[in-house]
């Protein structure tokens, strides 16, 4: 299920090359991961891709990534649940949610809280640090811009 395709090192723009350039991308749609991974790699990011959140979690290691890009709607485990599990392993890694749902941040948070089923305050606080929500469909260049912003914040 996983497809790890680091490529095109030579085409990376060096001015964007930094320490924070390793990205984990998780989406159950292979077309989406293909498109996003290609676009990110074109801009010098190193991207690991998973179409199965459970697989992604089992392979996840602390300090391996600078940013995790998670789709919200996935089978077996939704994006928020995955995020919580990842946070347990890596407290510092930055997280962006990417979703095709027509919802705003507050509603999303509410939805998330409901899905948590009585979340503790600590978990709640952990969620509050996520401020990066990206709506599909998004232009690849716009996506790169948002991710760079998040990495530099």
Binding site for other proteins (CB under 8 A): 29-32, 34-36, 38-39, 42, 73, 75, 99-103, 136-141
For other proteins, the closer CB: 33 or 60 = 33
In the complex, the smallest distance separating the C-beta of residue 31 from other proteins, rounded to whole angstroms, is: 4
Cα angle 68, 71, 75 (rounded to 5 degrees) comes to 125
In the complex, the smallest distance separating the C-beta of residue 137 from other proteins, rounded to whole angstroms, is: 4
**Burial call 91-108: b when 16+ CB within 10 Å, e when fewer:** eebbbbbbbeeeeeeeeb
In the complex, the smallest distance separating the C-beta of residue 70 from other proteins, rounded to whole angstroms, is: 15
For other proteins, the closer CB: 38 or 116 = 38
For other proteins, the closer CB: 116 or 138 = 138
Cα angle 72, 148, 53 (rounded to 5 degrees) comes to 25
In the complex, the smallest distance separating the C-beta of residue 141 from other proteins, rounded to whole angstroms, is: 8
In the complex, the smallest distance separating the C-beta of residue 2 from other proteins, rounded to whole angstroms, is: 16
Cα–Cα nearest to 96, from 83, 112, 85, 114 = 83
DSSP state of 72: S
For other proteins, the closer CB: 128 or 139 = 139
With both helix axes pointing from N to C terminus, report the angle between 105-116 and 121-128 in degrees, rounded to the nearest 10.
Answer: 150
Secondary structure tally for the chain: helices H, strands E? 6, 5
For other proteins, the closer CB: 91 or 107 = 107
């Amino acid at each position: 299920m996983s497809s790890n395709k680091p490529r095109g090192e030579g085409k990376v723009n060096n001015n964007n090359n930094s320490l924070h350039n390793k990205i984990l991308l998780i989406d159950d749609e292979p077309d989406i991961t293909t498109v996003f991974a290609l676009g990110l790699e074109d801009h010098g990011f190193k991207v690991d891709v998973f179409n199965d959140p459970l697989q992604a979690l089992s392979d996840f290691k602390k300090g391996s990534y600078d940013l995790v890009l998670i789709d919200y709607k996935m089978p077996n485990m939704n994006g928020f649940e995955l995020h919580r599990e990842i946070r347990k392993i890596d407290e510092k890694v930055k997280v962006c949610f990417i979703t095709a749902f027509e919802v705003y941040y507050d509603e999303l948070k509410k939805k998330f809280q409901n899905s948590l089923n009585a979340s503790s305050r600590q978990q709640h606080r952990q969620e509050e640090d996520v401020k990066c929500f990206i709506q599909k469909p998004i232009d690849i260049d716009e996506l790169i811009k948002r991710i760079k912003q998040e990495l530099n914040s």
